[in-house]
Structure 1
Amino acid sequence: MGCETCATDIPAGRSDCPTCYTPVGAPAVLPGVKIHSVWTFGLAATAAVALAMLADAAVLLSPVIGLQLARRAERDLDPAALDQAAVLEAVLAFGQTAIVLVAAVLVIIWCYRVRDNLDAFAGSAPELRTGWAIGGWFVPFANLVIPFRVMADVARVSLFRAGTPGLVWGWWLSFVVYVWGGQAVSRYDLGQFTELPLPIDPADFAAHVDYYQQALFRNSVVLVAGVLAAVTFGLLAVRVSRAQEARIARGAPRGPVMPGMAVPAP
């Protein structure tokens, strides 16, 4: 007997498909259950995350320019160069915040849609309800775990895995380091910046040079984690979206449906 979801031949006596774990005799998509198209949102979320990462990379690497301006200020004893560095960081941070907000909205919408689709897939048995695909991002401390568990459910069912795929672990661990590590570094950098002496003599200018050198190193660690998180999310979004669209297509009615006709179960 062939599986309706993945076309695998199911051995006699087995109650579910050995590949996708769909129960024997169950359709690829349960009739009457709402489903969402996810491919477009998956691509949009992936593109937005990539753009947000580029914007954040500009912020995280801004100490490169700050360092050059601080060295020029040290050489020329010109405090105005240090003011230019501070203005540059503020402008980049403002633009980055706007782009990140757009990316976050698209990611959450995509997460909701792919999680909601699981309810239409026989045998999916997700651990968390659909609402957590949105709410899980906003509950303090719980947002360290819930989005990961939602994605684990989605990837396991969509990609036909018995357990959580390693790609989900790689995405979430790098994302946590990127977000929480980035916040810690940002607060530390702000504290260090506020303690810098007013540039009056050469020694004061040297302190600004040291600050930008150290900030660049700390930010580079955060940047590596962020790039890894963006890449792994993109891979997950594309693979999950493609897999769900393929399953939905297999569950679509076969043949034309005339007005007034009942749609046959997949």
Structure 2
Amino acid sequence: MPTYRVRGLAVAGASAVGAATLCYLLTALFPLVGVRMARSAAEQLDRDVLLGAVLAEVLFSVPYLLALLTVGTLVVIWTWRARKNLDAFPGAVPNLSPAWAIAGWLVPLANLVVPARVLADLLRNSVWQRRQSWLVGVWWASWLVFLIGDRFVARAEQQRYDRLTELPRNDAEFATYVRFYEDALAPRLVPAVACLVAGIAFVVLVRRISAAQQDRLSRAVPVWPGQPVWPGRPGWPAPAAPMPVAPTSPQVPPTPGGTIGA
């Protein structure tokens, strides 16, 4: 069975997840910047400052989108490689085929359940410690809260923004932009906290699964069942020496008065 090294990919994926989480937290906290810019625009009655706030939020979002694309690519590759390694581990009994390690992230609706099952397979058959299975539940619950919460908040904000005056002219109309940014911060905190929890939990899972698999691949020692080590690897027992054969006396032709075979 072919096997794949996952440690380097795990480090890259964990770093990308950390970067994406940090970028998302910055976008979630942007209302703190937006409210100051809106107040400055209200004091100066300057629409360009409001436009600058919109452009600044877009600039905040670009690094997050790039990091998210990188995370998606690395995580899919890592998941597939880690799942393929299970086929080479005696005693591993995964519930899903390697194809689901890729399709589970991409197929709509299935991506709400399948990745959690694949990750639970990887944890159970790599680390062999059931008490760590709660990490999968924490990661997936927080990930779902993040996905649903982020979309709900984004849609609600867009509806509120569409009701604002497109070209504010007086203090009252500029004040609506100030209130918009003031009210935007609290709803964003829910998906932000969920994103942080999901990011930390996923990094822990990836590192533990990768370390366990890499250690097993380096030693090539099945956990259960199987021989102590695989054939051809260091430590494999040497072939048993042939059993000694008791010496026999040479056969001689019979002679008169002698004994046959003496």
Question: Same fold by TM-score, threshold 0.5 exceeded?
Answer: yes
4+ runs of 1 displaced by more than 6 Å?
none
One-letter amino acid of the structure 2 residue matched with residue 212 of structure 1: Y
For 2:208, the equivalent position in structure 1 comes to: 239
One-letter amino acid of the structure 2 residue matched with residue 229 of structure 1: A
Q: Which runs of 5+ in 2 are unaligned?
A: 221-229, 236-262
- CA deviation string 1:6-59 (max 9, x = no partner): xxxxxxxxxxxxxxxxxxxxxxxxxxx111101011111000011111221221
How far did 1:163 drift?
Answer: 7.4
Distance of 1:48 and 1:227 partners within structure 2: 13
Q: Give the direction of change, closer, same or farther, for the CA distance of 1:164–1:127 in structure 2 (3 Å limit).
A: farther
Provide TM-score, normalisation by structure 1: 0.80
Cα RMSD of the aligned pairs, angstroms, is 1.8
- CA deviation string 1:190-225 (max 9, x = no partner): 121121123112111111111111211111211111
- CA deviation string 1:110-129 (max 9, x = no partner): 11111111111122111110
1:217 equivalent in alignment to 2:183: no
Contact 1:39–1:242 (8 Å) recurs in 2: yes
Give percent identity, aligned residues only: 37
For 1:135, the equivalent position in structure 2 comes to: 103
Q: Which runs of 5+ in 1 are unaligned?
A: 1-32, 257-266
How far did 1:161 drift?
Answer: 3.0
For 2:226, the equivalent position in structure 1 comes to: none
Of residues 245-254 and 149-158 in structure 1, the stretch that sits farther from structure 2 once superposed is 245-254
For 1:203, the equivalent position in structure 2 comes to: 172
Of residues 210-219 and 247-256 in structure 1, the stretch that sits farther from structure 2 once superposed is 247-256
Aligned pairs for 1:117-136 (under 5 A) are 117-136=85-104
Contact 1:185–1:218 (8 Å) recurs in 2: yes
Distance of 2:234 and 2:171 partners within structure 1: 81
Distance of 1:120 and 1:188 partners within structure 2: 49
Larger radius of gyration: 2
Provide TM-score, normalisation by structure 2: 0.81
How far did 1:160 drift?
Answer: 0.5
Q: Give the direction of change, closer, same or farther, for the CA distance of 1:218–1:238 in structure 2 (3 Å limit).
A: same
One-letter amino acid of the structure 1 residue matched with residue 233 of structure 2: R
One-letter amino acid of the structure 1 residue matched with residue 22 of structure 2: L
1:168 equivalent in alignment to 2:136: yes
